[in-house]
Structure 1
Amino acid sequence: AMNLTDFHDSALLKLDIGGPFLADVVDQQTEEYVVVQISQTEDAGPRRRRQQQVVYNWSLPLSSRRNQQIITTRTFQIPNRGTIFINIQAFLQESRSVPLSMKHQYLHANIEAQVTIASIILVGVYVLIILEIVHRTLAAMLGSLAALAALATVGERPSMIKVVEWIDYETLALLFGMMVLVAIFSETGFFDYCAVKAYRFSRGKVWAMITLLCLIAAILSAFLDNVTTMMLFTPVTIRLCEVLNLDPRHVLIAEVIFTNIGGAATAVGDPPNVIIVSKQELRKQGLDFAAFTGHMFVGICLVVLVSFPFLRLLYWNKKLYNKEPSEIVELKHEIYVWRLTAQRINPASREETAVKCLLMQKVLTLEMLLRKKLMTFHRQISQEDKNWETNIQELQKKHKITDKILLIKCLTVLGCVILMFFLNSFVPSIYLDLGWIAILGAIWLLVLADIHDFEMILNRVEWATLLFFAALFVLMEALAHLHLIDYIGEQTALLIKVVPEDQRLAVAIILVLWVSALASSVIDNIPFTATMIPVLLNLTKDPDVNLPMKPLIFSLAMGACLGGNGTLIGASANVVCAGIAEQHGYGFSFMEFFRYEFKL
């Protein structure tokens, strides 16, 4: 037991208790448990003694393994200025010691104020990204810095070690490893070869080709990570569009839509689904891998059938072809690439300065050539190629495999990496995370390919995208500590409870679906899903509510996965696709992405 008297004008008390507790269990009834009782004295008048009133009871089930330490956190409101008493009692079957640790912290702002601050920070980040005032990476960094400053203001000051722990290094390792693999893969000419083959298979029909690409992306995303799928598909799509004189932006946006849709079909296709099937409480109620995949797969098939005609309707009046001849488009893209290369050179030495000057001279020469071509050629809109068979022969001569030996090595390593991804999802005895698999595959390919110009490979890595994800992880975790995600879940539960009983299930399914979709389009769907699962489980156990568990969980999964299509930063695959496209000179803005994805 301990007494707290130095809280002054604090509004909240935060407790961190560490001990041998059961992890990942909601309201688990065990024979051994610890009860944390928080009480406060209230002034009953000048002639009566001050009475001690129990304010909160917090039960923590104990594990049989006494050597493990799990830290659980909970925040309590302080109702008055009286002394706070904290009593900890252990209810055991036999007398033995239970190692516990406790840390308390005072917070100066109540939950409503913290949620308001978090909402303002999130809106500010979106304003910076939407209006393109700064690059999205810098916007995420500024947002994470503002969120950390807000935490410090209310009294919660996370250490640098704690902030670094918020970053999901498995995701960053997966991105980095796949970026290195794709960078080496592109040296073989395989992406050009695939582009020509896809054009030939579609017989020159653009929409047939787009439908085929989207369908393959959706199927792969059901079994692979969405990020991996888009990292493999984006270079192929860009090269294919360049060959056909198409604008890659619209095709890439369509592919991302179906990548996110396909990822929702199975229990391993998207991180929210993985979180759901990993919950022991849900497995005990019959929601295992097979049951979850069986239900979600049927629903996603219906979503795909509806999405294809709706996508065609969205692009009905959109000219997918470039409005200029392919020769001018390629020249403009070449100017952009040379200029970007010159800007990336830091003139620290005389040689680097000379190289930069030569590149800028080349840019000026190409710009003069572009002006002459624009004066010569009339602007014309390409139509679907009627002589596609003749064009195919010319394209096959121009775009061939440049290094067959390197291609065999790349296909071998990439095949092993993808096989390990599959085995990691279905075989629990493999103790390698996806990030480790990608990193080991990248190192293996670097050794086999005998890369001497290592800096060239590193220059193709999307460092801005990796930094964006790191800042985004910190931002979302800080917003969670400001109770934004908990507040959304609690308000959703309150809305469900006030609905009449005969309409409650239908309203609950629709509400959970749309709240999850809208929330996942603006905040990371991983912490949101992890927060909503206990809320929904407690809601289904409430006898006054009387709701089944499975429909609500399926609504949560559907909304959290498909909600990533809402905005550019709603899903990891969106950000990766935008980063690779920007590196190739085909970047698209937040609003351009939002205009098509949010409608669908």
Structure 2
Amino acid sequence: MLGSLAALAALAVIGDRPSLVTVVEWIDYETLALLFGMMVLVAIFSETGFFDYCAVKAYQLSRGRVWPMIMILCLIAAILSAFLDNVTTMMLFTPVTIRLCEVLNLDPRHVLIAEVIFTNIGGAATAVGDPPNVIIVSNQDLRKEGIDFASFTGYMFLGICLVLLTSFPFLRLLYWNKKLYNKESIEIVELKHEILVWRQTAQRINPASREETAVKCLLMQKVLNLESLLRKMMKTFQSQISQEDKNWEQNIQELQKKHRITDKVLLVKCVSVLGVVIFMFFLNSFVPSIHLELGWIAILGALWLLVLADIQDFEIILHRVEWATLLFFAALFVLMEALAQLQLIDYIGEQTALLIKAVPEDQRLAIAIILVMWVSALASSLIDNIPFTATMIPVLINLSQDADVNLPIKPLIFALAMGACLGGNGTLIGASANVVCAGIAEQHGYGFSFIEFFRLGFPMMIMTCMIGMCYLLATHIGLGWNM
């Protein structure tokens, strides 16, 4: 919002101040409607307990073995995030993953990092899995070029499947020397975790009054008592590292009581409506005479599910909608249009065109794909991929319309989508899902640092981008899928 305000101020200074009506018209309401509709659908979906059930099922299928369980959890996270928002997937998956790891005496940090990496990979597979993809398929200029929901999802889905196939063995290689099990017994680990949580609670209290000071002192005294107990337990402890959970059947029964599908009828309704909505997304691409945009389909699906689910308190559902994200998108559209009016985007496009023109014409498309892919990936590792994608779309459209460059638009847009989505795994701040997962883990006493994420995320980002680049070059240069 500050950025869009600054851009509007710059327009006013040069004497080209737009009216409020014009500024409001710059907002792409179809994208906002699509996001809002999907958020309402997921908010109702989360009431069923489906995500908890999936995590417990992964534990049951793995029969208490660690690596099969991690692989199944990552696969479920990738599949769900292809159709649901990445942030929502991690918000619902993180707490139950932590509980599973505590049962298995595992360090949850490494499992959560693996899950969020695969969430970002899976989100790239469809047009609604990741916000950059939503921006691309909602763009009217790209729609005219034939980049609609079906063509975009079909192309990206095939590429991401190849990326996933190579990601699982590479993840196992990265974790080869990682100590996934806690060295101490479950009792000691839980006591350490309890001490950490109590200490964090005490530190959050600001002793402004006598009562608050007394509470803080009581909490710190409790921490000291627990630390004394921990020292006694450590003296009598003899390390017995279990490489397999022997009591997995008993643990399954306990977990199934707590984490189960709470409303089967609502689950059937949610799956049915979500299936119809996704089917309509595809149908809209093939039958333009429907005259329903993606945003309208999502809104109508959300309203239909609200009626079917007989939601009495709509306020609860509205509280789960990420209003800050919707406001962010609205301000972003104003910012991008203002920058276009200031001719900054045209300038970036001209400089990119000059760089590509310097390449011989027979190699131009390959170099352009590689350049867009890696610039997108590295930029998305350092800044949020949403504003970067919004900035690059008009640049690439201008580039494809330049007669001297003579490049098709589809390979450039697919390279942008692949780089922006997969690049989010590069660092902890590369994607919103990473930050959300780290925040929830911190609340449970299992926070991980920027460096811890970087050590696993950045090599995965490089490897997945290499596979994605090979897929782009093979399809567009080798097979000529450009028309």
TM-score (norm 2): 0.73
The question of whether the paired residues in 1 share the 8 Å contact of 2:113 and 2:453 is answered with yes
Q: 1:301 aligns with which of 161, 175, 186?
A: 161
In the aligned structure 2, how far is the partner of 1:306 from the partner of 1:566? 17
1:384 corresponds to: 243
- Candidates 196, 218, 233, aligned match of 1:373: 233
Q: Distance in 2 between matches of 1:370 and 1:435?
A: 51
CA contact (8 A) 2:137 2:149 kept: yes
Distance 1:519 1:221, change over 3 A: same
Conserved? CA contact 1:174–1:438, under 8 Å: no
Deviations 1:10-46 (A, max 9, x none): 9x93634459xxxxxxxxxxxxxxxxxxxxxxxxxxx
- 1:408 corresponds in structure 2 to 262
Q: Say which SS state the counterpart of residue 408 (structure 1) adopts.
A: coil
Task: Write the distance in 1 (CA, Å) between the matches of 2:44 and 2:199.
Answer: 24
Secondary structure of 1:429's counterpart equals helix
Residues in 2 aligned to 1:249 and 1:203: alpha-carbon distance in whole angstroms: 21
2:14 counterpart SS class: strand
Query: Residues 412 and 300 of structure 1: is their aligned pair in 2 closer, same or farther, counting only changes over 3 Å?
Result: same
**CA 1:351–1:401: 2 relative to 1, 3 Å:** farther
Distance 1:264 1:276, change over 3 A: same
C-alpha distance 393-525 of structure 1, shift in aligned 2 (>3 A): closer
Contact 1:170 / 1:433 at 8 angstroms: preserved in 2?
Answer: no
Q: CA RMSD in A?
A: 4.5
Q: Which amino acid aligns with 1:588?
A: F
Q: Is the 8 A contact 2:33 2:296 kept in 1?
A: no
Other-structure match for 1:550:
410
3-state SS of paired residue (1:565): coil
CA contact (8 A) 1:578 1:587 kept: yes
Asked whether the 8 Å contact 2:56–2:259 carries over to 1, the reply is no
- Mapping of 1:141-290 within 5 angstroms? 191=52, 197-290=57-150
* CA contact 1:178–1:442 (8 Å) conserved in 2: no
Match of 1:580 in 2: 440
Structure 2 CA distance for aligned equivalents of residues 469 and 288 of structure 1: 22
| CA shift for structure 1 position 295 | 0.9
SS at structure 2 position matched to 1:324 = coil
Cα distance, 1:467–1:429 mapped onto 2, change above 3 Å: closer
2:449 corresponding residue in structure 1: 589
When residues 399 and 224 of structure 1 are mapped into structure 2, their CA distance, relative to the original with a 3 A threshold, is: closer
Deviation at 1:361, TM superposition (A): 2.9
Pairing of 1:270-349 with structure 2 (within 5 A): 270-345=130-205
CA gap of 1:279–1:177, structure 2 versus 1, over 3 A, is closer
Change (3 A) 1:598 1:442: farther
Q: In structure 2, how many angstroms separate the alpha carbons of the residues matched to 1:337 and 1:443?
A: 39
Query: Contact 1:170–1:435 (CA<8 Å) still a contact in 2?
Result: no
Distance 1:332 1:476, change over 3 A: farther
Q: Does the CA-based 8 Å contact 1:17-1:72 persist in structure 2?
A: no
What's the secondary structure of 1:598's corresponding residue? helix
Correspondence for 1:501 among 337, 358, 361: 361
Tell me which amino acid in the other structure corresponds to 1:501: E
Amino acid at match of 2:192: K
Q: Distance in 1 between matches of 2:78 and 2:305?
A: 21
The CA deviation at 1:360 is: 3.0
Per-residue CA deviation, residues 84-130 of structure 1 (Å, 9 max, x unaligned), is: xxxxxxxxxxxxxxxxxxxxxxxxxxxxxxxxxxxxxxxxxxxxxxx
2 CA distance for matches of 1:15 and 1:257? 44
CA deviation map 1:535-560 (0-9, x unaligned): 11221121211111111111111111
Q: Give distance in 2, aligned partners of 1:524 and 1:433.
A: 30
Q: Give how far 1:566 is off.
A: 1.1
Could you report, residue by residue, the CA deviation over 1:53-77 in whole angstroms, capped at 9, with x for unpaired residues?
xxxxxxxxxxxxxxx745799xxxx
Q: TM-score with structure 1 length normalisation?
A: 0.60
Are the equivalent residues in 1 in contact too, given 2:107–2:182 (CA < 8 A)? yes
1:123-134 aligned at under 5 Å gives the runs none
CA displacement at 1:247 relative to structure 2: 1.0
Which residue pairs with 1:429 in the alignment?
A: 296
Q: For structure 2, list consecutive stretches of 5 or more residues without a partner in the other structure.
A: 1-10, 282-293, 461-483
Distance in 2 (CA, whole Å) between partners of 1:325 and 1:529 is 47
Separation in 1 of the partners of 2:365 and 2:68? Answer: 41
The equivalences for 1:93-108 within 5 A come to none
Give the superposition deviation at 1:519.
1.2
1:516 maps to which of 362, 365, 376: 376
* Cα offset, 1:359, TM superposition: 3.1
Work out whether residues 170 and 436 of structure 1, in 8 Å CA contact, stay in contact via their aligned partners in 2. no
Distance of aligned partners of 1:13 and 1:280 in 2 relative to their CA distance in 1, 3 Å threshold: same
Q: Is the 8 A contact 1:260 1:561 kept in 2?
A: yes
Report the CA distance between 1:333 and its aligned residue: 0.5
Cα–Cα, structure 1 residues 224 and 415, in superposed 2: closer, same or farther, change >3 Å? Answer: farther
Alignment match, 1:51:
none
Corresponding residue for residue 479 of structure 2: none
State the distance in 2 between where 1:289 and 1:240 align. 37
Higher helix share: 2
- Report the equivalent of 1:131: none
**Richer in strand (by share):** 1
Structure of greater Rg: 1
Distance 1:333-1:171 versus aligned 2 partners, 3 A rule: farther
Aligned partner of residue 528 in structure 1, secondary structure: helix
Residue aligned with 2:16, SS: strand
Report the alpha carbon displacement of residue 422 of structure 1 after superposing the two structures with TM: 6.3
Alignment match, 1:492? 352
Matched AA of 2:134: V
Aligned residue for 1:559?
419
Structure 1 counterpart of 2:250: 394
Partner SS state of residue 586, structure 1: coil
Name the CA distance, whole Å, in 2 between partners of 1:277 and 1:392. 45
SS of alignment partner, residue 499 of structure 1 = coil
Higher relative contact order (CA 8 A, sep 6+): 2
